[in-house]
Amino acid sequence: MSVMQKGHFIGEDLRKLVLKKIVSAGGDAEMATVPRGIFASVAKQLEIHHTTVKNIWTTYCVNKTTKRKEYKRYNNGKLHADHKQYIDYLVRCEPSISLGSIRDKLIENCDLQISTKSISNYLKKVVSRKILTRPAADRYKDDNMIYMQAFLDVLHTKDVKTIKFFDESGFAKPDVNSARYGRSAVGERAIETQDRQKTPNKTFNLLIGVQGVCYANILPGASTTDTYIDFFFKAVNATTNDGYFALKPGDIVVVDNCPIHHHRGEDVLAPFLDMLGIEYIFLPRYSPNLNPIELCFQHIKTLFKTELVRALAKDNLEYAIMHCVNGITAANCYAYYQHANYMQI
């Protein structure tokens, strides 16, 4: 008997012979059990692959038939313009959709029998595969989209000098003081031992305006509702390095949707700031691109990669943070606001 060629179907007679040998060796189709090593033994006798023997047995135990699985054959129908538009629509709605799913939807909705190969050939001409970006679905809900448009419309009409942004960021020594690159001989790894004990987290609270940094403080550990409220109680009495009040009547404070900014934080601060003539509003959900302060934090953490700041952070993390903050100029903040691209700059 010659060895079966790869890709050839196993005939009905050979399938029955495989089952007969397994049963005669002690296989039980009802319990789907076989003696140890029987698949390899039968495969050797019949000169077929042991996986084929196992598949024949499994199919018989489940379906009680010796017939091979029938594969669907699709006529290689021609993709017309409306079919291509439908495929484009499916890919836009769900970029990760499989070729099989596209084929099934074409059969169901367009009565088109076509192979996945034809679909793949078309897609190669119009799209490319790339890493998926998965923004939060809540960002695109109707209520948030309506709020986002209203947010953009309102802030675009305001004097940019009155719009102040607040946010928090965490700092810890292993995060901001560890070099990623080093030098070593060609072909050898660059290894540098260091203490990996994580230092306590520092929370950096920051309020900025287009004129520069308005007010900042650093807390040990994580921020809480109480520390958040306390920040603004102090900010309304603070002055900038130029001698101006950090917050004054007519200003608009914009914060993100962190839980401590809502609930009790909002219940206390909104009326308090309102009494001072300061408006308290929220960014649209999951929209950090609308917050120029994110660029400020990125700038600060980039400065931490410099040799001077790394040396400062080893001895005094808080001092290193404030050193970087003092380096943020009015021109920098103007650029952050300009990059947000929805306020009148």
Q: Are 153 and 111 contained in the same domain? A: no
Residues 108, 161, single domain; the answer is no
Contact status, residue 306 vs residue 120, Cβ threshold 8 Å: no
Which residue shows structure tokens 């802030």? 155
Sign of the CA dihedral running 60, 62, 64, 69: negative
For residues 256 and 282, the answer to whether their CB atoms sit within 8 Å is yes
How many structural domains does the chain have? 3
Residue 71 lies in a domain: no
Instruction: Report the pLDDT value the prediction gives residue 266, as an integer from 0 to 100.
Output: 96
Are residues 27 and 101 located together in one domain of the fold? no
Whether 331 contacts 345, CB under 8 Å? no
pLDDT score, position 198: 62
pLDDT at residue 68 in the model:
66
Q: Tell me how far apart the terminal alpha carbons of the chain are, to the nearest angstrom.
A: 84
* Cα–Cα distance measured from residue 66 to residue 11, given in angstroms and rounded to the nearest whole number: 10
Is residue 252 within 8 A of residue 281, CB to CB? The reply is: yes
Structural domain contains residue 73:
no
Q: What pLDDT shows up at residue 1?
A: 46
Give the pLDDT confidence score for residue 16 in this predicted structure: 87
Range of the structural domain that residue 156 is part of: 142-180+198-340
159 and 256: one domain? Answer: yes
Q: Strands, E, within the chain: which ranges?
A: 163-171, 202-209, 212-220, 252-255, 279-282
Q: Domain holding 264: CATH number?
A: 3.30.420.10
* Amino acid (one-letter) located at 163: I
> Based on the domain organization, do 292 and 162 belong to the same domain?
yes
And the tokens for 129? 């595969």
Q: What is the largest CA-CA distance in the chain?
A: 97
Residue 188 lies in a domain: no
Give yes or no: residues 154 and 293 share one domain.
Answer: yes
Do the domain assignments include residue 191? no
Residues 6+ apart with CB under 8 A from 261: 228, 255, 282
Statement to judge: residues 105 and 158 lie in one domain = no
Find, among 40, 49, 1, 2, the residue nearest to 21 by Cα. Answer: 40
69 falls within a domain: no
In a domain? residue 334: yes
Strand partners, 208: 165, 213
* CA nearest to 215, candidates 293, 286, 270, 267: 293
Residue 122 lies in a domain: yes
Residues 227 and 85 in one domain: no
- Give the model's pLDDT for residue 145: 93
- d(C-alpha 306, C-alpha 324), whole Å: 11
pTM of the model: 0.64
Same structural domain for residues 93 and 172? no
The pLDDT assigned to 305 comes to 83
* Alpha-carbon span 179 to 306, nearest angstrom: 10
* Same-domain check for residues 158 and 306: yes
Tokens 């079919």 belong to residue: 83
Whether 248 and 103 share a structural domain: no
Q: Is the CB of residue 132 less than 8 Å from the CB of residue 312?
A: no
Distances (CA, A) of 77 to 84, 87, 131, 139, 337: 12, 14, 31, 40, 54
Q: Which residue has the tokens 């929220």?
A: 282
Per-residue pLDDT of the chain (345 residues; tens, 9 = 90+): 445 555 556 788 888 898 888 888 888 888 888 888 889 998 888 888 888 888 888 888 888 877 766 655 555 567 888 999 999 999 998 999 999 999 999 999 988 888 898 999 999 999 998 888 777 777 888 999 999 999 999 999 999 999 999 999 998 875 565 667 788 888 888 887 766 556 678 999 999 999 999 999 999 999 999 999 999 999 999 999 888 999 999 999 999 999 999 999 999 999 999 999 999 999 999 999 999 999 999 999 889 888 888 888 888 889 999 999 999 999 999 999 999 999 998
Regarding whether 309 and 161 lie in a shared domain, the answer is yes
**Residue 206 in contact with residue 238, Cβ under 8 Å?**
no
**Sheet hosting strand 202-209, strand order edge to edge:** 212-220, 202-209, 163-171, 252-255, 279-282
Question: What are the residue ranges of helices labelled H in 158-236?
Answer: 173-176, 225-235
Query: Does some domain include residue 75?
Result: no
